[in-house]
Amino acid sequence: MRIQASVILLSICLSVASQADSLPENVKSVFNSKYPGLSIDDWSFSDNLYSIDFYKGGTMYTAVFKADGIWIETSEIISDMDLPAPLQDYVKKNYPNGSISYSEKVEGSDKTHFLRVTLFFNESSYIIRSDLDGKNIKVQ
């Protein structure tokens, strides 16, 4: 049983290592320049974008890069309870009984910082964006 668990663990480690090895060099290089000394935990590719998960100070972040290596944004999942009151009030008022999938604090490549909430309401998905104070709310 112990040998079987070791083999599974080794397979997982090799899978993660091989995935990191197939990440394009230009994306790895920009990631390493932007986040020196931090390691890639996992990554995915979708819609011509690379999403890279990494930990900094015990917190998980996701950095998004274009296929040519240009950084777009970095986000951190936050608790819905950490959303500022104006944003919480907006969601409650406009999406009663809506279900928040996740909330993020985002740093954009244009030096903006904002909050993004993804929620489901009446069988539709919505993305709500606001400034860090929960004001200037926009639905995307």
Q: What is the pLDDT of residues 53-92, one digit of tens each?
A: 999 999 999 999 999 999 999 999 999 999 999 999 999 9
CB atoms inside a 10 Å sphere around CB 87:
23
Token code pair at residue 34: 């932007």
CB 74 within 8 A of CB 64: yes
The pLDDT tens digits of the residues spanning 1-46 come to 444 443 344 444 444 444 545 899 999 999 999 999 999 999 999 9
The length of the chain is 140
Distance (Å, whole) CA 14 – CA 77: 27
CA 58, 87, 49, 112 dihedral sign is: negative
Q: What is the pLDDT of residue 1?
A: 45
Task: Determine the pLDDT at residue 97.
Answer: 93
Predicted pLDDT at 6 = 39
- What does the pLDDT read at residue 22? 87
Comparing 5-9, 69-73, 118-122, 127-131, the range with the smallest average pLDDT is 5-9
Residue 21: the pLDDT is 56
